[in-house]
Structure 1
Amino acid sequence: MSEIYAEEIIRNKRKLEQAASQEALKEALYQIENDISNGYVVVKYETLELEERTILDGRLTMLLPTRFEEMNEELKAVKYPGPEGPEWVYSNESGDISITFTLEKGEIKPKEVTEVRDVLSREMKRLYPASAIEEKKTIGDGENLVSTFSMDIPLIDGDCYHLLFLRAVRDGLVIGSFDCSIKEKKQWQQIMMQILETLKETDA
């Protein structure tokens, strides 16, 4: 074997090892166990800082990524057309990841929220019969109960991971949702369950 040929083999071997190492690093970043108590999360190899925000006209506080801003009315009208659209929407810059909130005025007890969740999940199943209802959960305790369910919704530009959550407040029921691409579902699932535990009613 010539010296030049041997060097070429070594170079190619090193390139393969480097590529494998980079792929392993990407895989590790993708499967990272996010813990919001660190003050940040990692999604799709990107670090997102978290901060406590006051939302819903001062009714609630919640941890949200610092890059998420309230969606402007023009984009909101496009993404959520019609009178049934959410009152508040917080999203990343492109609008492809969003958290929405609507306040239904009235009297509801925290223990009744699960019943409302089940009614809404049946309605969503009727609208999307091919999609399975997933992750029916109730997290928190006492006045801080949050009931959730999720499903994958088929859209024209690809499947969407849709998480719906409900929480009783003094003057009604907060109905919220989180949406992202199905490609980011695995990471956002664990993150959102933690974030929803930070949803607190203010004294205002």
Structure 2
Amino acid sequence: MNYMDEHILSLKNKLNYDVASNNVNTSLSQTVISEQDHSVSEKNLALRLGDELIPLELRVILDGEIEVSVPKSFSLMPLEQAKFKYPSEHRPEVIYTSEDGTVNITFNRTESTLANEELPEFVEQMADVLRSVQPIRNWLGTQVIVNHSGLSIGLIRFIAAGVDKNLYNEILLFTHAGQVMMGTFNCMESDMEAWLPVAENTVHSLHAVSLPLQSSLEKGADSL
């Protein structure tokens, strides 16, 4: 696939930038719990902060094309804060952040197109790029999974050196309508075990938003 290298080059700066920009995080200590059922319809997953349970909720992102479950306490990062944290045109389109800004979940559309069966090779090539440009402290590997909604997602996990502490990073790569989508999850390495269930929930809750039946019928009528 001669065009695969072009996809890698087009994403290299964006991927490197998204990860590097997260190095301004500070540490946080907390515990996460989750229910056994990780299905998309399940809404009673909860984040435990001491004695307080904070639920997760579904959010519609990327112009209504994708839905994902994130902690209800997470909010979209204000534009001014996003410009400071990601001072480049390559900043993610969607940035959900914890109340203290130490944990971030981001999503981006890219200009690259990819067939679903090419995803495993694409993930490995992106992993090679990351290893060449990031200050990797601990490489945790790659994986391609099919989540509970049937979406194939490539995962790249590693710990990178931050400004003052190491950061756990999880890169998500998947396709929607043939277009490559990219997500990131990051937190301090010291909080990694606590936050991993939330990262897992993010991965397994991702799914394309179905068009309402009425909308589909209207489009069909218009074409008659």
Given the alignment, which residue of 40, 56, 74 partners 2:62? 56
RMSD over equivalenced CA pairs, Å: 2.3
**Aligned residue in 1 for 2:10:** none
CA contact (8 A) 1:105 1:171 kept: no
- After superposition, residues 77-156 of structure 1 pair within 5 angstroms as 77-140=83-146, 144-156=151-163
TM-fit CA distance, 1:173: 1.0
Q: Residue 100 and residue 167 in structure 1: after superposition, are their counterparts in 2 closer, same or farther (change >3 A)?
A: same
Unaligned stretches of 5+ residues in structure 1: 1-28
Q: Residue 172 and residue 72 in structure 1: after superposition, are their counterparts in 2 closer, same or farther (change >3 A)?
A: same
Q: Residue 108 and residue 67 in structure 1: after superposition, are their counterparts in 2 closer, same or farther (change >3 A)?
A: same
TM-fit CA distance, 1:129: 4.8
**Aligned residue in 2 for 1:5:** none
TM-fit CA distance, 1:193: 1.9
TM-fit CA distance, 1:187: 2.2
Deviating more after overlay: 177-186 vs 42-51: 42-51
TM-fit CA distance, 1:201: 0.7
CA contact (8 A) 1:41 1:50 kept: yes
Deviating more after overlay: 53-62 vs 32-41: 32-41
TM-fit CA distance, 1:130: 4.2
Residue 171 of structure 2 corresponds to residue 164 of structure 1: yes
**Aligned residue in 1 for 2:34:** 34
TM-fit CA distance, 1:38: 6.7
Q: Residue 172 and residue 38 in structure 1: after superposition, are their counterparts in 2 closer, same or farther (change >3 A)?
A: closer
Alignment identity in percent?
20
Number of aligned residue pairs: give it: 175
Q: TM-score when scaled to structure 2? A: 0.69
- 1 or 2 for the larger relative contact order (CA 8 Å, sep ≥6)? 2
CA contact (8 A) 2:170 2:186 kept: yes
Other structure's SS at 1:76 match:
helix
Distance 2:65 2:182 in 1: 13
TM-fit CA distance, 1:151: 0.9
Amino acid at match of 1:68: F
Residue 171 of structure 2 corresponds to residue 182 of structure 1: no
Q: TM-score when scaled to structure 1? A: 0.76
Unaligned stretches of 5+ residues in structure 2: 1-29, 212-224
Deviating more after overlay: 134-143 vs 58-67: 134-143
CA contact (8 A) 2:120 2:154 kept: yes
